Chains A and B, each alone.
Chain A
């Protein structure tokens, strides 16, 4: 691929999802990430109770992400053809797991900020 610059990547992602949806997702992801840092800094500690729920949600996020990618691309586990495919599959799974964990932790912290047994 020629000139795979940051700008090209952005242009490609805009085309994949449509400009509106892509930037909505970027902003959403940024807001959730910022909210996650916000609750961490606000609470001055990781709430291990909330973190437990976040961890428990991780396998769900991993499986959901993999199935989602397979569904939209009409492919399945039988199409894994080499090491890079396994890496991509794991990458999708990890992204789904971490994404859902961050979302769950942040949502819990924002909705139930006071769970005093945590700290």
Chain B
């Protein structure tokens, strides 16, 4: 078989195919979908968490010449969906930690301190250093604060010792929670898993922690030595009724008892006793392991600013925004996004992913003198881990409708390996892509 290779038609076809594939790959990448809007607007974003960072990255792509300032005193960025995994010994604390500054785009000014006061009438932000920032548009994305002081007898330095866990408090506290939980797995006893009466971030996390510790005790062969009780102030196990029913069945299957309408009010760490407020008075429960999730509220600077709802969540202070546009109902130049927004659902990273483009559209349209019908429907997603290796990919909206991303393929109320794979492999990656404004 001998012929002139340079004139080999097969070879030319092959090279043409390769060039075609390259061209297809190049055109397959969509260009920037929007033209940039030129503006001199001063935009201040309070908070460089998931919402603030994602929005900053998207706004620099959309706006030309805007002065964008982001205010956050936290040097660390926390990937909070990882806390449940850290608190089950599945990931190290470093899994959730990165640097705030590393996610911010060029052209955005980071003020590494917190706001001390917001004046929506004068359109100014006072920083803790005494500096004053003037804004044309304000994005409140401060996140929320955990009110550990509301649980009498509890303080964060107890976490990890004497059977006390509190995974919400941060990556290190999540790791200390695992220290206490793993001791409970080894020794057995009474496990008490709580959640607060307030709105909270990721309402699935208290359930995940319960399911994970149950599963790890089963795999360690010690589940027979322990009993599990999930105590919650609400009347059902989850805000979405169809999911609550599924969780009720799973709890039945796993032998996890429940105490509904029970609000944790105080603990006695020495005696290992927790006190709950119930409609029928106070109830005391003994524990060998107690998972504390404290009440959650808007930060004080937000609650003092006059931006909060006056007739809703008055003990919590979430920002009074329209639930679909996330624009403040009294100050049209202010938006709230993420945990601090006063909307009925959506204190999760998945909600942020859907909220941020809506705020982006409204803000850019407003700057351009235009309007938009971009609307947030309350979308929230929760890969509800039911054991190591399985999860339910639960997605829902304001109306408690299930809104599966993969209908007919990934069943929302089935415990599936694929949902676990998504949590394990794709979730943090998707989160990071979102932070960069690319998802």
Contacts and interface: CB of A to CB of B under 8 A. Distances in A.
Query: Do A and B truly interact?
Result: yes
B75 interface: no
A74 B389 contact: yes
Given A2-B357, A41-B11, A74-B389, A85 B416 contact: yes
Interface in B393-427: 405, 409-411, 414-418, 420-421, 424-426
A41 B9 CA distance: 10
B417 A16 contact: no
Contact of B420 (A10, A12, A13, A75): A75
A43 to B, nearest CB: 9
Contacts, number: 100
Contact of B389 (A4, A10, A15, A79): A79
B354 A88 contact: no
Interface string A1-37: 1111111101111111000000000000000001001
B417 A6 contact: no
A111 interface: no
Contacts of A11: 433, 436, 438-439
A89 B389 CA distance: 13
B424 A74 contact: yes
A73 B425 contact: yes
Contacts of A37: 14, 17
A85 B418 contact: yes
B420 A79 contact: yes
Interface in B373-391: 379, 387-390
A2 B353 contact: yes
A8 B352 CA distance: 16
A85 B439 contact: no
Contacts of B270: none
Contacts of B17: 37
B429 A6 contact: no
B221 to A, nearest CB: 15
A15 B432 contact: yes
Interface in A16-67: 16, 34, 37-38, 41-42, 44
Contacts of A79: 387, 389-390, 417, 420
A11 B432 CA distance: 9
Contact of A8 (B1, B390, B420, B433): B433
B416 A15 contact: no
B14 A12 contact: no
A7 B426 contact: no
Contacts of B357: 2-3
B35 interface: no
Contact of B416 (A1, A4, A38, A84): A84
A73 to B, nearest CB: 5
A16 B424 contact: no
Contact of B390 (A5, A10, A38, A81): A81
A64 B8 CA distance: 39
A37 to B, nearest CB: 6
Nearest to B12: A41
A34 B428 CA distance: 32
Interface string B77-105: 00000000000001000000000000000
B140 to A, nearest CB: 22
B389 A76 contact: yes
Given A15-B430, A84-B409, A6 B390 contact: no
Contact of A16 (B388, B410, B429): B429
Interface of A: 1-8, 10-16, 34, 37-38, 41-42, 44, 69, 72-76, 78-82, 84-85, 88-89, 119
Given A38-B14, A88-B421, 15 more contacts: A3-B357, A8-B433, A13-B429, A42-B11, A72-B424, A72-B425, A73-B424, A74-B90, A75-B388, A79-B390, A79-B417, A79-B420, A80-B417, A81-B416, A84-B411
Interface of B: 1, 8, 10-11, 13-14, 17-18, 28-30, 90, 353-354, 357, 379, 387-390, 405, 409-411, 414-418, 420-421, 424-426, 428-430, 432-433, 436, 438-439
26 contacts: A1-B405, A1-B430, A2-B354, A2-B379, A6-B28, A6-B29, A8-B433, A10-B29, A11-B438, A12-B430, A14-B429, A15-B430, A16-B425, A37-B14, A41-B14, A73-B421, A74-B388, A79-B390, A80-B417, A81-B390, A82-B416, A84-B409, A84-B416, A85-B416, A88-B418, A119-B1
